[in-house]
Structure 1
Amino acid sequence: MKYAIITGASRGLGASAAQQMLAEGIHVISVSRNENSSLKQAAEKAGAGYIHHSCDLSSEVQVQSVFTAIAADVFKNAEAVYVINNAGVIEPIDMTGELDSSLVQTNVQVNLTAPILISNLFLQKAKETGTRVIIANVTSGAGERPIQGWSIYCSTKAAVNMFTMTAGLELENSGSSSKVIAFSPGIMDTDMQVTIRSSSEESFADVDTFRNYKESGSLRSPDTVAGALVKLVLADNLENGKIYKVNDLL
């Protein structure tokens, strides 16, 4: 059986990717604080398996507990396992010197620590069982350039990129059949964009640019971006450690 484990699958890109994996007949395991009820309906329609696990990805204890349980079930009979580390938070949006320490810790845990822990666990299980695992870490163009007010988001996404490239190099050098890649989805019409547009100009100097993206219709739909992501992870010719950008795939 083929499995897709998707974090942040309750809405946005994660929900769209889960829907499209189900349409491919792949058993989907969604992981988020809240469940998207439409995924269960989509699974029934597609005749595909589906299960939801509630997890606060900002809690290291919950991440270890939930994903250990998922791995124990999945690797019993998995033909292939796809992991999409999609969940992410952009807060705190503020100038350095004004950052909320609790939001900083949450951002680092959700955006960086959780994907690393999940990847480490599933690659360990892949090695033990001989199962092929494909991991896609959702990143951002913000990981490649500084953006005023986004110091923590830029930093965690830059770290995700380096982790992906390094893990990919290690897999390639070891001759593993597993792959780790990153996927940069560009600007989408999601709740994260709502958060960005609600920022003050004092905290985020480019806020008007992002408001114009919405007003001008420049934001892609999550369904369009998820289509590119799902097609990518299901492809046979993935390059280990590569950061794929949606603009090159559509």
Structure 2
Amino acid sequence: MNYAIITGTSKGLGAAAAQQFISEGMQIISVARTENNDLKQSAADAGSGYSHYSCDLAAAEQVLSVFSQIAETVFKDAEMVYVINNAGVIEPIEVTGDLDVPLIQTNVHVNLTAPILISNLFLQRAKETDSKVVIANVTSGAAERPIHGWSVYCSTKAAVNMFTMTAGLELEQNGSKSRVIAFSPGIMDTDMQATIRSSSEEAFAELQTFRKFKESGSLRSPEVVAGALVKLILADTLENGKIYKVNDLL
């Protein structure tokens, strides 16, 4: 049995990736605070196995509880397990000194802590059951350069990259058959982009540039990006710890 476990499936890249996996005949496990009913129906129409787990990724205890349940299910009969740590938040968009403390905490928990906890748990279970897991951590170009107003987002995504590279190095040195990579999806036409465009120039100096991305039609659809991601991880030629960029894949 092949499973695809995807966080942030309620919309955007997560929903589009799940749709791609359905077309590949995968067993889909959706993880988000709210269920995507269109995704559920698509799986039913295709005759694909589907289950949804509600989870607040900002709550570490909830992440461990939910993903322990998922692991208990999938590792009973899994041949391949794909984990897409896709869920992410951009807020707070604000200059340092004016950052909202609860938003800082949520950003760190969702963007960084949750992917680490999930990766750690699934690699542990894969080792115990002699299974193969492929983990893709969704990152951002913001991990590679400072962006005015995005200090927390840049920092968490940079940390995701370093975690991915380090975990990949460890898997290689241990001779594991599992893989961990990061995937940078570029700029997409999603709700996150809408949130960015609704900020102020005082909080985000590149506001007009991002508004022009939308106006000029420069934003890729989540479906196009999801197609590149799914094709990448199903090709079975992944380099452990590598950060793959969508611009190099399309």
Identify the residue that residue 172 of structure 1 maps to in structure 2: 172
Measure, in 1, the Cα distance between the counterparts of 2:68 and 2:87.
Answer: 18
Measure, in 1, the Cα distance between the counterparts of 2:196 and 2:236.
Answer: 36
Identify the residue that residue 201 of structure 2 maps to in structure 1: 201
Identify the residue that residue 144 of structure 2 maps to in structure 1: 144
Q: Deviations over 1:63-87 (max 9, x none)?
A: 0100000000110000000000000
Identify the residue that residue 74 of structure 1 maps to in structure 2: 74
Q: State percent identity of aligned pairs.
A: 76
Unmatched 5+ stretches in structure 1: none
3-state SS of paired residue (1:186): coil
Q: Deviations over 1:179-231 (max 9, x none)?
A: 00000000000000000000000000000000000000000000000000000
Identify the residue that residue 155 of structure 2 maps to in structure 1: 155
The TM-score normalised by the length of structure 1 is 0.99
Identify the residue that residue 222 of structure 1 maps to in structure 2: 222
Instruction: Indicate whether 1:45 and 2:45 are aligned.
Output: yes
Report deviation, 1:171.
0.3
Identify the residue that residue 3 of structure 2 maps to in structure 1: 3
Residues 1-250 of structure 1 correspond to what in structure 2 (within 5 A)? Answer: 1-250=1-250
**Segment drifting more, 45-54 vs 155-164:** 45-54
Report deviation, 1:235.
1.1
Report deviation, 1:234.
0.7
Measure, in 2, the Cα distance between the counterparts of 1:98 and 1:133.
Answer: 41
Structure 1 runs of 4+ aligned residues shifted over 6 Å read: none
3-state SS of paired residue (1:165): helix
Which residue type is aligned with residue 236 of structure 1?
D
Which residue type is aligned with residue 183 of structure 2?
F
Measure, in 1, the Cα distance between the counterparts of 2:129 and 2:157.
Answer: 30
Report deviation, 1:41.
1.2
3-state SS of paired residue (1:137): strand
Report deviation, 1:44.
1.6
Report deviation, 1:47.
1.4
Which residue type is aligned with residue 133 of structure 2?
V
**Segment drifting more, 134-143 vs 38-47:** 38-47
Measure, in 1, the Cα distance between the counterparts of 2:51 and 2:205.
Answer: 41
Unmatched 5+ stretches in structure 2: none
Measure, in 2, the Cα distance between the counterparts of 1:20 and 1:127.
Answer: 27
The TM-score normalised by the length of structure 2 is 0.99
**Segment drifting more, 40-49 vs 50-59:** 40-49
